[in-house]
Amino acid sequence: MSPSAGLFFHNGLGDGINCLVLSNNLQLNGWKVDTYQNALGSMQNWFPHLNVKSYPTVDEIPRILNTYDWFFVVHNDTDEFILKLIQEGKRRFPDRMKVIYLYPSKNIINEPYYPDCLVDPTLTVADNMRLFCEKILHLPKLTRSNGFIPPTGLKFRSHQKRVVIHPTSARESKNWPREKFLELVRFLKLSGYEPVFVMAAHEQASWRGLGVEVESFSNLDSLSRYVYESAFLIGNDSGLGHLASSMGVPTLTFCRRKTLASMWRPSFSNGIVLSPSSWIPNIRGFRLRDRYWQKILSVRMAKRAFKRLVKAEVTSAKGKD
């Protein structure tokens, strides 16, 4: 009889997209899998073989623990449901409740630490999910894919000059400056590209009237279709870069720290991450890289990186001919 598993991922979009690698590997090996994650619901048609549900409520934890043979939980120190699920699951099923910490170090975790997962901060999250399947679960069939299957009727990168730009993120401290994005847009237009800004509806007001095209979408599925048919995506360290990368769309990402980029860069397809040089001091008390990364990453650097990305795509396309 095939084992059953409940998988509980962090609710960030990038987290969900990367952690689906675990769901996909389990399903590939015949497991019965339910994945719980609140951001991916409207994209169910992109992975019809993987059942994704929203988080249950805290009072449903006893039912959840009686439903599955195994439990795989990505740690989230701010979510009451996850913390209580881990606590009760470890009490009842210490060997079958596996806690995965997607942090560069266990020293930053305040709650009890369970050595269930081999996380290598020099590898991407997707690679770590595959490593978990190989080294901890010993699955015979392994894949680095998260199982995305494009809906019918779409044409991959059919808008060959359209560049999707995502200039926002969950935190302002992660955003490359607006004026630099606008200067980059001018460069793209002069180079024959069609840059389009995408963002949530409530973020659009401050970007209107700046001479740029701005789009918003009613749900993640609509946005995903748009990105899939675009040529490139440029943005801050956020979930949209992981979404594009998992579809095969090349990405250029701005990130404040190389250590974060090593683990959290979009890694499913060609991409470039711009982050400050490790030669710039970031010692405790000064944190020059963290404080000044937005100034350090220049428009000139972004232009050069985009040219490299285009060149890499051209070279890759020739190699497939």
Q: Which residues, other chains included, contact 79 with Cβ-Cβ below 8 Å and sequence gap of 6+? A: 11, 55
pLDDT of residue 171: 85
pLDDT of residue 273: 95
Q: Determine the Cα–Cα distance for residues 200 and 11; give it in Å rounded to an integer.
A: 17
Q: Determine the Cα–Cα distance for residues 104 and 109; give it in Å rounded to an integer.
A: 10
Work out the number of other CB atoms within 10 angstroms of the CB of residue 45.
13
The answer to whether 8 touches 82, Cβ cutoff 8 Å, is yes
List helix spans (H) across 34-156. 61-65, 80-92, 125-135
Q: Determine the Cα–Cα distance for residues 210 and 186; give it in Å rounded to an integer.
A: 11
pLDDT band at residue 104 using 50, 70 and 90 as cut-offs: confident
Rounded to the nearest 10 degrees, the angle between the axes of helix 239-247 and helix 220-228 is: 50
Helix, strand and coil content of the chain, in percent to the nearest 5, comes to: 40, 15, 40
> Residues of CATH 3.40.50.2000 domain(s) within the chain?
159-320
pLDDT in tens, 65-86: 999 999 999 998 889 999 999 9
pLDDT of residue 172: 87
Matching CATH number, 4-135, of 3.30.750, 2.10.260, 1.10.238, 3.40.50: 3.40.50
pLDDT of residue 26: 98
Work out the percent of the chain whose per-residue pLDDT is above 90. 71
Q: Which residues, other chains included, contact 190 with Cβ-Cβ below 8 Å and sequence gap of 6+? A: none
Distances (CA, A) of 46 to 15, 125, 141, 147: 16, 20, 22, 8
CATH of domain 159-320: 3.40.50.2000
Q: Which residues pair with 32 in a beta bridge?
A: 4
Q: Determine the Cα–Cα distance for residues 180 and 108; give it in Å rounded to an integer.
A: 33
State the burial class of residue 303 (Cβ atoms within 10 Å of its Cβ: 0-12, 13-18, 19+).
Answer: middle
pLDDT of residue 216: 86
The answer to whether 133 touches 122, Cβ cutoff 8 Å, is no
pLDDT of residue 290: 63
pLDDT band at residue 289 using 50, 70 and 90 as cut-offs: low
pLDDT at 162 over 70: yes
Identify the three-state secondary structure at position 160.
strand
Joined together, the tokens standing for residue 246 give 């998992």
pLDDT band at residue 280 using 50, 70 and 90 as cut-offs: low
Q: Which residues pair with 195 in a beta bridge?
A: 163
pLDDT at 134 over 70: yes
Q: Determine the Cα–Cα distance for residues 190 and 185; give it in Å rounded to an integer.
A: 9
Q: Which residues, other chains included, contact 191 with Cβ-Cβ below 8 Å and sequence gap of 6+? A: none
